[in-house]
Structure 1
Amino acid sequence: MKLGTANCEVEAFACPVTFTVDVIGGKWKALILFHLMSGTKRFNELRRLVPEVTQRMLTLQLRELETDRVIHREIYREVPPKVEYSLTELGKTLVPLINAMREWGAVHEEAILKFRHEAQGLDETMTSETV
């Protein structure tokens, strides 16, 4: 739901979980935050740490996190230009949440991958039976 004002639109979220997912959701934001938990990173460092993300998508995700002031972007005026990203104080409040996500994944990864594999086998069986 959006609330309109004279100068801008502001999102109004009925559920705090929805809002949290809006801030850190998506395929790459939590992973970016996880890597920034260990310290300041340059753009190309993040590209190497998350090789599956495209340059355009990484830029977009970093901008969204910066807009929400979860991360800080420091630009150094030198040649070649240097840009570094780090967690803000607000971003650091997400560390327990990111750690909990990491722990949950470590505990449940094997079982869930097994479930997915089983479901894929069922899907293939159903497809071959209907053909």
Structure 2
Amino acid sequence: MLQKIIKIVAFALAILGAILALMIMGADEGTEGNLVSNMLYVSYVVLAIVLTLVVIFVVKGLFSGNIKKTLLTVGAFLLIVLISYSVSSGTDLDLTKFTAKGQDVSEQASRYVGTGLYTFYVLAVIAILSMLLSSVKKIFNK
């Protein structure tokens, strides 16, 4: 039942997005800004719906699956983020480039960017290593 409702909502939003995209493409230069802002509102609504559904299905999956394994995985992810935050110094971005262009970027914002980058690098390495390990196991198990 829920899957049918999700499909109907997704279809309706796709049609609305296509209509707004076509309106933007065919609009005069003066009215494009209003249409783009309407498209942004549709994007915000879609994002809110998707995030709500993700949270619902994650909570549903937590209670139907192995909660200990899930909590360990979430804890490992938070540990990686915490380590990345502690490694990031706040000088990860060259702030002189941004201040020369009139943008004000603080060291804390630079530290958050560095944290995100380091977290991404660690998770990418873990993903690549797990794929390689899985491939090697398949080769030797055959």
Shared fold, TM over 0.5: no
Give TM-score, length-normalised by structure 1: 0.31
Name the structure with the higher strand share: 1
- Structure of larger gyration radius: 2
Name the structure with the higher helix share: 2
Higher relative contact order (CA 8 A, sep 6+): 1
Give TM-score, length-normalised by structure 2: 0.29
